[in-house]
Amino acid sequence: MAGAETVLSVSHLNEYVCRLLENDIRLRSIKVSGELTGFKRHSSGHLYFSLKDENALIRCVMFRSNAQRLSFEPSDGMQVVLSGSVSVYVKDGQYQFYATGMRPFGEGEFYKQFIELRDKLKAEGLFERKRPIPFLPRCVGVATSETGAAFHDIRSVIARRFPTMRILLAPVSVQGAGAAQTIINGIGLLNEIDEVDVIIVGRGGGSYEDLSCFNDEQLARAIFASKKPIISAVGHEIDFTIADFAADLRAPTPSAAAELCVPELDALRSGIAESLDRIASAAVAQLNNAKQRIKLLSSDSVLSKPSTMLDMKREKLNAAKNLLEQKTAEGITAAYMRIESLEKRLDALSPFAVLKRGYAIITDRNGETVHNASELTEGMPIGIRFSDGTVAATVERVDEKSS
């Protein structure tokens, strides 16, 4: 019988989509560039606008606390780079970008050259191919500066998530003249090492000029030509380069790149343990089914001898019965002997047994037992209890034992 149909309310659907977006690590801190349109500054200080390019548009909002930190006045038609995250406004189901930062994107001829190169490479198809990142690489290759913070962050994240994961660094220059060629050489070197299954290319944040080597055309072609999938991790929040377009996957930061290419070892172990439990349960179920089939077959008169089996069972039952009766009798006898022993010990400790040996118990007028001579005085009435009765008497003299 088919299960009951699941029907969601609009609120539940929007909340579910919202959680999906907010739990996607790649959407928590991203940067996006485009042209401002429909810009409005609300009386509350919040900014509402859209960001568009030649093919698409996304609704955006920047709350007052972030808008107050802007060093320029945004306006329609301005090319900007936004940093922030993607989510859904549950109330009306609006998918939008929540901006935490904004800066003008490029100026003059430099920006024009960036757009021209981007469009050229896009037309050639260099940005279309996106290869999957291996779930569990044998070794992670990294092309970045040996002394920069990016490699430190990558190594720290990988060590935390998968302590035994191998990391191979190809030291390159990530800034200045000739930096693009050293990165190309690093990618080529890592491609020649068979154990390297994925390559991270990038650096930490910096000015637009600092990141210019990642806008190199030959570097973009080297990324496209790489035999290994490449994750681009250039900058921190709002930096965006040609290398990001050409890579198989873009990470907002070097740390995020490490998280994207290396799973958590503890989570893997937990998953394996759960799978083994399911396999074991399935095996036990299969075994029980097989036993049941054997049992059914063995009950067939053609394959068994019922009378012989009954005789054997009866013999075992009689043996068990005799053993049980024997053990029960032995237990009862042992219990009686222990009871007799305890009775004798109790009799030996009884004060009445002492009285039978000629001793007596002295009590005062209140019937309390007198333990010492010092408790008695002359003329004091007392009781003397023997084994066969009690005698009333009066103290004539008290002779206390000298110490």
Residues 6 or more apart whose Cβ sits within 8 Å of residue 194: none
Distance from C-alpha of 49 to C-alpha of 30, rounded to nearest angstrom: 18
Closest by CA to 260, choosing from 299, 218, 232, is: 232
pLDDT tens for 70-96 read: 878 888 878 889 999 888 887 777 888
Q: What pLDDT is attached to residue 108? A: 43
pLDDT > 70: percent of the chain: 92
Q: What pLDDT is attached to residue 64? A: 94
More confident residue, 400 or 29: 29
Q: What pLDDT is attached to residue 49? A: 94
More confident residue, 107 or 172: 172
Which of 52-66, 71-85, 311-325: highest mean pLDDT?
52-66
Name the H helices within 241-350.
242-246, 254-261, 265-298, 306-349
Q: Are 68 and 108 in contact (CB under 8 A)?
A: no
- Count Cβ atoms within 10 A of the Cβ of residue 207 and give its class: 0-12 exposed, 13-18 middle, 19 or more buried: exposed
Distance from C-alpha of 217 to C-alpha of 120, rounded to nearest angstrom: 10
pLDDT band at 1 (very low <50, low <70, confident <90, very high): very low
Q: What pLDDT is attached to residue 225? A: 96
Q: Domain boundaries in the chain?
A: 10-105, 139-266, 305-346, 352-394
What is the three-class DSSP state of 353?
helix
| Helix orientation angle between 217-225 and 108-124, rounded to the nearest 10 degrees | 30
- Indicate the class that CATH gives domain 139-266: alpha beta
Name the H helices within 90-212.
108-124, 149-161, 179-191
- Count Cβ atoms within 10 A of the Cβ of residue 17 and give its class: 0-12 exposed, 13-18 middle, 19 or more buried: middle
Write phi, then psi, for 207 (nearest 5 degrees).
-70, 170
Residues 6 or more apart whose Cβ sits within 8 Å of residue 103: 80, 81, 238
Residue 16 pLDDT greater than 80, yes or no: no
DSSP string, 106-117: --HHHHHHHHHH
Distance from C-alpha of 151 to C-alpha of 127, rounded to nearest angstrom: 26
Q: What pLDDT is attached to residue 109? A: 55
pLDDT tens for 132-179 read: 999 999 999 999 999 989 999 999 999 999 999 999 999 999 988 899
Q: What pLDDT is attached to residue 231? A: 97
pLDDT > 90: percent of the chain: 38
pLDDT tens for 334-393 read: 888 888 888 888 777 777 777 777 778 888 888 888 888 888 888 889 888 887 888 888
Q: In whole angstroms, how far apart are CA 180 and each of 105, 171, 351?
A: 21, 12, 108
Using only C-alpha atoms, the chain has a radius of gyration, in whole angstroms, of 46
pLDDT tens for 254-293 read: 999 999 999 998 888 888 888 888 888 888 888 888 888 8
Q: What pLDDT is attached to residue 30? A: 86
Q: Mean pLDDT in the chain?
A: 85
Q: Which fold has domain 10-105?
A: OB fold (Dihydrolipoamide Acetyltransferase, E2P) (2.40.50)
More confident residue, 383 or 221: 221
Q: Are 31 and 240 in contact (CB under 8 A)?
A: yes
Q: What pLDDT is attached to residue 300? A: 63
pLDDT band at 4 (very low <50, low <70, confident <90, very high): low
CA 188, 189, 192, 196 torsion: positive or negative? negative
pTM of the complete model:
0.48
Q: What pLDDT is attached to residue 56? A: 87
Distance from C-alpha of 169 to C-alpha of 258, rounded to nearest angstrom: 13
Q: Are 44 and 63 in contact (CB under 8 A)?
A: no
